Amino acid sequence: MQTRKLTVSLAFSLAVCLCAGRAAAGDGDLRTHSQVITAGDQEFVIEVGGTDDPENVEIVMENLGDTPVVNPRITVNGLYDWYDAESMAAEITRDCATDEERAMAIWQWVHWKRFQRSPHDESSLHPVRAMNGYGYGICGHTSSWIKALCRAAGLEARVWEIAGHTVTEVFYNDGWHMLDGNVKVFYTARDNRTVASMEELMSDKWLIERTIHPRDPWERGEDTPWRNREFVRYLITERDNWINTGYDIQNRRDYSMAFTLKPGETLTRWWGPELGKWESPDKGALAPERYANGRLVWQPDLSKIDLLDYCQYEPFHNITSTDRDGRLPEVHVDRPQDELYDRASRFDLVIDSPYPIIGSRFWGGIVKHGDMATIGFAGPGWGSGSEVYNFRWGEGAKELELSLDPAVMKNAPLYSYRLVFQFTDSAKKEQSSGLEWFKTVTDLQVSPHSLPALSLGRNVVRWRDESENPRKVRITCKWRESSDNSPPGIVSKSDCPASFASLMPTLRWKAARDSDKGDSVADYQVMVSLRPDCRWPVSMSLYRNVGGPRCEWTVPESFLNPGTTYYWRVRARDSRGAVGDWGEIFSFSTTGTAGAE
């Protein structure tokens, strides 16, 4: 496929409004950029101003052409290609060189991309379904996702049930290593270098007792005694720990975000819960902590397409279209029913979505000149489904508006449904029965984590599809720029010696600066690692927040070895919650076996 790159500056965008545009706005107002796509692989640039990442609001994909667009996908700055497990794993492990790095990258990605809630959808045990549609899951989900993503990255992994909790082990460096994507923890072995295995943990509770189990990405203090005991109890009772392969039923499936954007169809995705609807409201009135909505609207111009090309029907269903015989309405009975052939004519209008379907509405015009004109609602494998409309009395034309929410929500979240139209004609009438026009609106749940978000500065937006025919698609991004709170600056200077005799050294640094008037640094996070890039800590207990603006932190007992070089870095959070970037990476060496300074 040919790649076409188009860079659009703010000043230039209005001049090329036929193919791209950005609405001018003041700071905090809604900003818009639209781009018409005509190539199967096309890039364009959106510049975002302000002092921090923007509030992403909406992204819209409209098929303006007369042909279907197959498997469209959008990435921003090389991110959010969550099309299938392989593309997810490739993105997560892009800069990894070893199996250990790949395993740790997958574990970190999973535990920062979800929160605690169980979807009412068994297919959410697969990372593609879960992370695109929901963004939440419990321990069984995270373990299943890690296993699936490890498999896609070429790693061996297995899931353990530990009597009240579920975790994953990944095989690398000739051994198994336990990674808990739900509690966001691993346990460092007694060598203070490697991630412990389940076998080690089941026989050595001290490895668990010395480790913190933080609930919050920032607040990373000591465990309460009961919380620590909870994880000790989970792990050391080896008699009720067992390897569970049951999750493979879902995580081995080839789920993907494949779908076809039909002519006249628009997919809108929001970063917020714009519809106020989510899966499984039978769980009660409590909405998920974070979720978002989308909407798939199909209102084709039936004078430009043959609708039957997008429907399911069999030759014996006795149905045809204006494109095929010149008669109206647009889709209608082919040959009138009679005494010898009284089977109703039928066609199924199919709506597919890569996201969970949580509601639907239908508008349309139907014509009846026989004994029957009905509409049914059916999910996959439901036959003709359940009747949602019956033009029971009289004949002629009628315009309809139907809410299909009850039919959708009484079932588990759907990814496809059919509207089943059945008509009969009378041989005594010249007119035909059928469908004149329609519009479907399908409500979706989406995970805001998965959407192709713009960030501060230059954003390279890439469109790809797998269509063989020409396409004409309009992409519209909407966002609000942020300038009201700048994050703190980086920590760029250490105030420590190059080496310590102590194995509990106190690390000190020069304070970060906050450029906002009246704002100040409220807290720091510190990470100590064996790696020069500080990709992950020695232990979760060496990834902590200080709890205030003081510029020092003492490494806890038992995690450092003598004669070893360690690397560390710090980042700041201000009084309004803005978090700065990680600062410079510093290093120190240990020379002795003493305790705290």
Question: Does residue 98 lie in a domain region?
Answer: yes
Give the C-alpha separation, 278 to 248, whole Å: 26
Beta bridge mates, 139: none
Place of tokens 């692989």: 41
**352 and 456 part of one domain:** no
pLDDT of residue 417: 95
With beta carbons less than 8 A apart as the criterion, state whether 282 and 88 touch.
Answer: no
Question: Does residue 281 lie in a domain region?
Answer: no
With beta carbons less than 8 A apart as the criterion, state whether 545 and 221 touch.
Answer: yes
Residue finishing a domain among 399, 430, 445? 445
pLDDT tens-digit map of 277-314:
998 766 556 778 889 999 999 999 999 999 999 999 99
DSSP 205: T
Q: C-alpha 384: how far from its chain's center? A: 33
With beta carbons less than 8 A apart as the criterion, state whether 357 and 411 touch.
Answer: no
pLDDT of residue 412: 64
pLDDT of residue 22: 47
**519 and 562 part of one domain:** yes
DSSP 549: S
Give the C-alpha separation, 72 to 83, whole Å: 10
Which residues in the chain show pLDDT less than 70? 1-27, 238, 281-285, 412, 593-597
Q: What pTM was estimated for this model as a whole?
A: 0.91
For the CA atoms of the chain, what is the radius of gyration? 29
- Which residue, 368, 257, 263, is CA-closest to 309? 263
CB atoms within 10 A of CB 483: 12
pLDDT of residue 521: 96
**393 and 467 part of one domain:** no
- Which residue, 589, 587, 536, 534, is CA-closest to 560? 589
Dihedral Cα 494, 500, 505, 507, nearest 10 deg: 0
pLDDT of residue 283: 53
**203 and 110 part of one domain:** yes
**C-alpha pair distances (Å), 26 with each of 32, 33, 321:** 12, 15, 50
- Give the DSSP per-residue string, 275-305: T---S-GGG-S---SS-EEEEEEE---TTTS
CB atoms within 10 A of CB 510: 13
Question: Does residue 489 lie in a domain region?
Answer: no
DSSP 538: S
Place of tokens 């000739």: 174
Question: Does residue 63 lie in a domain region?
Answer: yes
Give the C-alpha separation, 293 to 291, whole Å: 7
pLDDT of residue 334: 95
DSSP 93: T
Domains identified in the chain, total number: 4
The CATH code of the domain that includes 204 is: 3.10.620
Omega of the bond leading into 329 within 30 degrees of 0 (cis): yes
Question: Does residue 90 lie in a domain region?
Answer: yes
Q: What share of the chain is helix, strand, coil (3-state, %, to 5)?
A: 20, 40, 45
Which residues form the domain of 42? Answer: 3-81+258-271+451-482
**340 and 230 part of one domain:** no
Give the C-alpha separation, 536 to 504, whole Å: 19
Place of tokens 């279907």: 68
pLDDT of residue 397: 96
- Identity at 44, one-letter amino acid code: F
The CATH code of the domain that includes 541 is: 2.60.40.10
**361 and 457 part of one domain:** no
- Which residue, 549, 591, 545, is CA-closest to 566? 591
Say if residue 17 is exposed, middle or buried (CB neighbours under 10 Å; 0-12, 13-18, 19+).
Answer: exposed
**420 and 434 part of one domain:** yes
**209 and 176 part of one domain:** yes
**316 and 264 part of one domain:** no
With beta carbons less than 8 A apart as the criterion, state whether 347 and 332 touch.
Answer: no
**C-alpha pair distances (Å), 86 with each of 152, 281, 455, 524:** 5, 32, 25, 36
Question: Does residue 196 lie in a domain region?
Answer: yes
Place of tokens 């089941």: 202
Question: Does residue 177 lie in a domain region?
Answer: yes
Question: Does residue 286 lie in a domain region?
Answer: no
Give the C-alpha separation, 100 to 107, whole Å: 11
**372 and 318 part of one domain:** yes
**342 and 463 part of one domain:** no
The CATH code of the domain that includes 33 is: 2.60.120
* Strand (E) or helix (H) holding 227: helix 225-236
Dihedral Cα 301, 302, 305, 306, nearest 10 deg: 160
pLDDT of residue 287: 79
Dihedral Cα 531, 537, 542, 548, nearest 10 deg: 100
**147 and 169 part of one domain:** yes
